[in-house]
Amino acid sequence: MRKKVIAGNWKMNNDLNQSVELIAGIKNKISSLKNNVEVIVCPPFTSLETTAALIKNTGIGLGAQNMHFEESGAFTGEISAKMLLSVGCNYVILGHSERRAIFGEPDELINLKLKKALSSGLNPIFCIGETLAERENGSTFDIVKKQVTNGLVGISSDDLKKVIIAYEPVWAIGTGKTASPAQAQEVHVYIRRLIKELYSADSAENIIIQYGGSVKPGNAAELLNQPDIDGALVGGACLEAESFAGIFTAI
Ligand code: PEP
C-alpha cells in the first residue's frame, strides 16, 4: 500500500526568522501524524540549513525548490545537488509550473535536473500539469504524456522508485480553483497507466503521485481519499502551521 506524502512548497516566502517560527508551529502539530503519512517542507535556499537542524529526528523531510543540473562551475546564482545534500536536503522540487512558465524551463532541462538529482541521491518531486487553455482545448492528456515522457527519458526503473510525481493543473495553482476529486483522479489514473507503459505494472503500482493546486484543510480529505491520489504538494496553505497541519491531519 502506498503512503501519503504531503509536501509544502514555501516558494519565495519566509526569511530566516519567519522560517524558524513556521517550523516551530509545524513541529507542534506533527505528533498527531499517522505512520503512513510523510510530511516534507521545502523552504527557500536561505532557510534550508537552519530548517534541517530544527527538524532533526522529527521524521519531517527537507526539500529544496530547484537546483542546477551541473556539478559545479560558472553558473552565477545557481545551486547544485551536492550543495543541497550538504545542508541536509533529501528532496528537490523540479519542473514546477512557475519554473516552466516564468523561467522558461523546457522538458529537456527538467530531464537533466531529474537525472542529476537522482545520481546525486536526492529524491525529486517532479511537477507536471496542463494550463487552463490546454484543458479547455482538450489536450490535458497529451500535455501530461509529453511532460512525463520527456521528463523521464533515460531514467531507470530503479531510479524511478525515488521519484514522486506531482500532478498540478496550472489553472488550480494559487487560484483557489481546485480540480474536483474526480477530475484529479482521472488524470492520476492516466499517469499511472503511462508509467505502466513506460516501465512496468510494478512501477505504476508503487509510484507516489501527488495532487497540487489550492489544496487546503477543507478539501484535502476528499482529494486524498481518491485511490490514485497519494498526497499533496501544497503552496499557499503551507505558509501557516495551522492550515498545513490541517491538511495532514485531515487524511
Ligand atoms: C504549488 O505552487 O505547487 C501549489 C500547489 O500552490 P497552491 O497550493 O497555492 O495552489
| Domains in the chain, CATH or no CATH each | 4-248 (3.20.20.70)
Residues 69-107 have pLDDT tens digits of 999 999 999 999 999 999 999 999 999 999 999 999 999
Is ligand 1 within 6 A of the CB of residue 219? no
pLDDT of residue 32: 63
pLDDT of residue 31: 74
pLDDT of residue 49: 98
- Report pTM: 0.97
List the residue whose alpha carbon is closest to atom 6 of ligand 1.
Answer: 235
List the residue whose alpha carbon is closest to atom 7 of ligand 1.
Answer: 235
Q: How confident is the model at residue 30 (pLDDT cuts 50, 70, 90)?
A: confident
List the residue whose alpha carbon is closest to atom 3 of ligand 1.
Answer: 235
pLDDT of residue 1: 85
Q: Residue 163 burial (CB < 10 Å; 0-12/13-18/19+)? A: buried
List the residue whose alpha carbon is closest to atom 4 of ligand 1.
Answer: 235
Instruction: Determine the Cα–Cα distance for residues 187 and 108; give it in Å rounded to an integer.
Output: 22
Ligand 1 atom nearest to 215, measured from its CA? 8
Residues 139-166 have pLDDT tens digits of 999 999 999 999 999 999 999 999 999 9
Give mean pLDDT, residues 8-24.
98
Grouping H, G, I as helix, E, B as strand and the rest as coil, residue 122 is coil
Give mean pLDDT, residues 195-201.
98
Q: CA 35, 92, 219: angle at the middle one, nearest 5?
A: 55
Cell numbers describing residue 166: 506531482
CA of 220 relative to ligand 1 center, distance in Å: 13
Give mean pLDDT, residues 199-224.
97
Pocket test for ligand 1, best of 42, 126, 233, 248 (most atoms within 8 A of CB): 233
Q: Are 6 and 232 in contact (CB under 8 A)?
A: yes
CA of 31 relative to ligand 1 center, distance in Å: 25
Q: CA 250, 24, 174: angle at the middle one, nearest 5?
A: 55
pLDDT of residue 34: 67
Q: Are 127 and 113 in contact (CB under 8 A)?
A: no
Buried b (16+ CB within 10 A) or exposed e, 98-134: bbbeeeebebebbbebbbbbbeeebbbbbbbbbbeeb
Ligand 1 atom nearest to 98, measured from its CA? 2
